[in-house]
Chain A
Amino acid sequence: MRNFAHLGTNNGEEYGRGDPASSMVFLEVKGLKKSFGLKPVLRSIDLTLSGGERVALLGANGAGKTTLLRILVGLTKPSAGSACIDGLDIVQDAQQVRHLVGFVAHQPYLYDELTALENLYFFGKMYTVKNIQERASLLLDKVGLEKSARERVAVLSRGQVQRLSLARALLHSPHHLLLDEPDTGLDQKGRDLVEALLAEHTAHGGTILFTTHQLERALQLSDSIIMLNKGRIVFQQKTVNLELDKVQRTYQEAMVS
């Protein structure tokens, strides 16, 4: 079992079959398709990602990035194909997969009328997090919201809500983070903070798959880049020695095609 002690909880005993140490492959997607009505959104995605990586998912609006992430966290059912996270099927073993994955979406998935602390306590109960009070305080401190702990989410700024959303996603010490445009609404300080948290997560063996529209940011934060266009993977490459110019050119070509 990997050491996730830095994140402060011990939910690890529940992972069992999904122990990432038993499998170097974090994500294995085979022939994944999704259609909404007659409109295909994902067209036969095949993808294999290793554990401990930071992967950026790029693509224009409507390319299928959010749908892919929603399928991986079990919020949307695929129309065809399969996907496994740490060897667990995302449909058959959905509940176990939810323990392994932390998700930050466009929407913060928080309750406006509850305080920041109450939100974390509530989600802590949902994820059966032990020592939830310590854990919530630690995470609020990490995301720089310790002074806003007793304020209702409704009165927090967009950036503060985004930070709290990240704290919610980290609450159960997930092995893998799936982040849909995590920089949304954040100022430079907030972006630095997110960067530090993500670096800490991967330093301890965690995996991150995130979407962004900022190519420079993708290069800066990721070990590899995947580009989606109209529901298909059109580019996948490690970021080592990859130059921004090439990424921009490829992105433009993919969008034009």
Chain B
Amino acid sequence: MIFLEQVIAILWKDVRYELRSKQMWTGMGLFALLVLVIFNFAFDLRVDNKAAVAPGALWVAFVFASLLGLGRTIAAEREIGSMDRLLLCPVDRKAIYLAKLLGNMLFIGVVEIVALPIFAALFNVPLFVGALLPIVLLSTLGIAAVGTLFSAMAAATRARELLLPILVFPLIVPIVIGAVRATGTLLAPAVNEPPWLGLIAAFDVIFLTVSMLTFEYVIEE
């Protein structure tokens, strides 16, 4: 019970902080939109190749925007008076991880909610909200799970903006592939497709477990 209360308190603090500083949401949202617009201009989107290009463009926008936000949450803790504020408290380090993870998911989720209708309009594709929701939710969880752990690691270094993508991109490749292919099958249904959603869920479980267990060692000196 105390664990959950502490998770909620850290999450509440992060959300309130972001609502007042407005650093992350604005930057992430604008970045995602710009990527979608650039892809829209860069590709010749005829009806026959739309289903092949659009999912990739959508997930590249989401992944890039996510990394911008992921780098900020823990880096902000370190910059403005350091992570010591939280580490000084007798709070379970898993609670800190879980709160940061939920915060990251929330920040990424808001950007996705804003970007999805714009994506549908720019690429002239249907949204399939009901079917797309589990894909977006599970993929965001996987990206945030890895990203939260590695942003804590990268935040302690000087070159964190450079280091974070280098650390995170290789690990989230399976999730991105799964998300792109699963989104692709919504636009152009195909037979004999592997269970992409199941694959993403499996990676989520692995990433979440490993991250929860190792976060304490990453965050402490």
Q: Which residues of A contact B (CB under 8 A)?
A: 73-77, 95-96, 98-99, 103, 105, 107-114, 118, 122-123, 125-128, 152
- B-chain residues with CB within 8 Å of residue A112 when the two chains form the complex: 80-81
CA distance A202 to B85 in the complex (A): 25
CB pair B21 A113 closer than 8 Å: yes
- A-chain residues with CB within 8 Å of residue B21 when the two chains form the complex: 113
CB pair A114 B88 closer than 8 Å: no
Restricting to B61-111, which residues have a CB under 8 Å from any CB of A?
Answer: 80-82, 84-92
Partner of B81, one of A75, A99, A109, A152: A109
CB pair B9 A75 closer than 8 Å: no
- Which B residue sits closest to A109, measured CB to CB? B85
CA distance A87 to B80 in the complex (A): 34
CB pair A110 B81 closer than 8 Å: yes
Q: Which residues of B contact A (CB under 8 A)?
A: 2, 5-6, 9-10, 12-13, 16-17, 20-21, 80-82, 84-92, 220-221
CB pair A77 B221 closer than 8 Å: yes
CA distance A95 to B90 in the complex (A): 5
CA distance A110 to B17 in the complex (A): 12
Nearest CB in chain B: distance from A115 CB, A: 10
Given contacts A74-B88, A95-B90, 5 further A-B contacts (CB under 8 A): A98-B89, A103-B88, A112-B80, A113-B16, A122-B9
CA distance A113 to B22 in the complex (A): 11
Total contacts A-B at CB 8 Å? 67
- Which B residue sits closest to A169, measured CB to CB? B88
CA distance A128 to B95 in the complex (A): 14
CA distance A125 to B9 in the complex (A): 7
Given contacts A96-B90, A125-B5, contact A105 B221 (CB under 8 A): no
CA distance A108 to B80 in the complex (A): 10
CA distance A126 to B18 in the complex (A): 20
CA distance A57 to B86 in the complex (A): 25
- B-chain residues with CB within 8 Å of residue A125 when the two chains form the complex: 5-6, 9
Nearest CB in chain A: distance from B137 CB, A: 28
CA distance A99 to B88 in the complex (A): 10
- Which B residue sits closest to A152, measured CB to CB? B20
In this complex, which of B10, B13, B16, B21 has the most chain A Cβ atoms within 10 angstroms of its Cβ?
B13
CB pair A127 B89 closer than 8 Å: yes
Question: Can you report 12 residue pairs joining A to B where beta carbons are below 8 Å apart?
Answer: A75-B84, A76-B221, A98-B88, A98-B89, A103-B88, A108-B81, A111-B80, A113-B16, A113-B17, A125-B9, A126-B90, A128-B6
CB pair A114 B13 closer than 8 Å: yes
Given contacts A114-B13, A114-B17, A126-B6, contact A107 B81 (CB under 8 A): yes
CB pair B90 A99 closer than 8 Å: yes
CB pair B81 A126 closer than 8 Å: no
- B-chain residues with CB within 8 Å of residue A152 when the two chains form the complex: 20
CB pair B89 A111 closer than 8 Å: no
CA distance A75 to B220 in the complex (A): 8
Enumerate the 5 nearest inter-chain pairs by beta-carbon distance, A residue then B residue, closest first: A126-B89, A125-B9, A98-B90, A109-B85, A113-B20
Given contacts A111-B13, A113-B17, contact A128 B2 (CB under 8 A): yes
- A-chain residues with CB within 8 Å of residue B81 when the two chains form the complex: 107-112
Nearest CB in chain A: distance from B74 CB, A: 14
Nearest CB in chain B: distance from A14 CB, A: 9
Given contacts A75-B221, A110-B81, contact A126 B16 (CB under 8 A): no
CB pair A122 B82 closer than 8 Å: no
- B-chain residues with CB within 8 Å of residue A118 when the two chains form the complex: 13, 16
CA distance A111 to B85 in the complex (A): 9
CA distance A122 to B90 in the complex (A): 13
In this complex, which of B2, B90, B91 has the most chain A Cβ atoms within 10 angstroms of its Cβ?
B90
